[in-house]
């Protein structure tokens, strides 16, 4: 069976969504035979798939294209809003060129026609594996860079607050900190004071509204 060279012990987390119970069961049994893949959630419609994806953060989706309430492509688009790098295999009972083109245009990486075999499923997942790993590494790098940037901003903010700086550079630092939903109240207060000193009344009004919303 296939194994990723970058992270052989890290299994690909899969979410299955299909409105046909037999297809869900068969797909899960097939995935159980593939190394380094584990099923973390199973949905019976598109809306449920979106909800479960937010809860379980899978690496790959196996979505039936025709489901009640929300079809597979719509569910995929919704899921990518919170999980932008996720891999997707669309499953369809029909080999329709127009549907295939729509799936590819939506960003879907693989397309399987029912009934498909274990080998076909494993080949599709194998082609996706490298992309999934690249996205995983990119997310880790982005997280590390964000943490480094936040630490640097906090260091500057501490120094600027100590020296009571109100110039453009100081204002920009505190404004960047304020963009974080978890920004400490003291930095918001410091930014408000800078706006008062600089007579930035429009910005002060926006900041006051932001503080009020966060306090609710």
Structural contact between residues 23 and 121, judged by C-beta atoms closer than 8 angstroms:
no
Which residues span the domain enclosing 125?
A: 12-140
* pLDDT over 90, % of the chain: 62
pLDDT of 78 higher than 90: yes
In a domain, 113, yes or no: yes
In a domain, 208, yes or no: yes
Are residues 208 and 103 located together in one domain of the fold?
A: no
> HEC states along 36-85?
CEEEEEEECCHHHHHHHHHHHCCCEEEEECCCCCCCHHHHHHHHHHHCCC
Structural contact between residues 15 and 42, judged by C-beta atoms closer than 8 angstroms:
yes
Are residues 71 and 175 located together in one domain of the fold?
A: no
User: Could you tell me which residues are beta bridge partners of residue 91?
Assistant: 64, 112
Are residues 52 and 121 located together in one domain of the fold?
A: yes
Over the stretch 128-162, which tens digit does the pLDDT of each residue have?
887 777 777 777 888 888 889 999 999 999 999 99
**What is the Cα–Cα distance from 215 to 203, expressed in whole angstroms?**
18
Are residues 182 and 95 located together in one domain of the fold?
A: no
């Amino acid at each position: 069976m296939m194994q990723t060279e970058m992270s052989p012990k890290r299994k690909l987390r899969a979410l299955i969504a299909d409105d046909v119970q037999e297809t869900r069961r068969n797909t899960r049994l097939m995935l159980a035979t593939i190394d380094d893949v584990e099923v973390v959630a199973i949905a019976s419609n598109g809306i449920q798939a979106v909800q479960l994806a937010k809860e379980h953060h899978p690496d790959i989706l196996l979505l039936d294209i025709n489901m009640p309430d929300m079809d597979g492509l719509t569910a995929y688009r919704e899921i990518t809003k919170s999980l932008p790098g996720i891999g997707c295999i669309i499953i369809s009972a029909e080999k329709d060129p127009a549907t295939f083109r729509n799936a590819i245009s939506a960003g879907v990486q693989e397309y399987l026609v029912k009934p498909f075999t274990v080998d076909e499923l494993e080949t599709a997942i194998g082609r996706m594996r490298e992309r999934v790993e690249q996205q995983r590494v990119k997310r880790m790098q982005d997280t590390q860079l964000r943490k480094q940037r936040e630490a640097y901003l906090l260091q500057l903010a501490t120094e600027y607050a100590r020296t009571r700086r109100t110039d453009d550079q100081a204002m920009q630092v505190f404004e960047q900190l304020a963009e974080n939903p978890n920004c400490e109240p003291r930095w918001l207060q410091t930014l408000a004071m800078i706006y008062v000193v600089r007579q930035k009344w429009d910005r002060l009004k926006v900041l006051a509204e932001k503080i009020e919303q966060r306090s609710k």
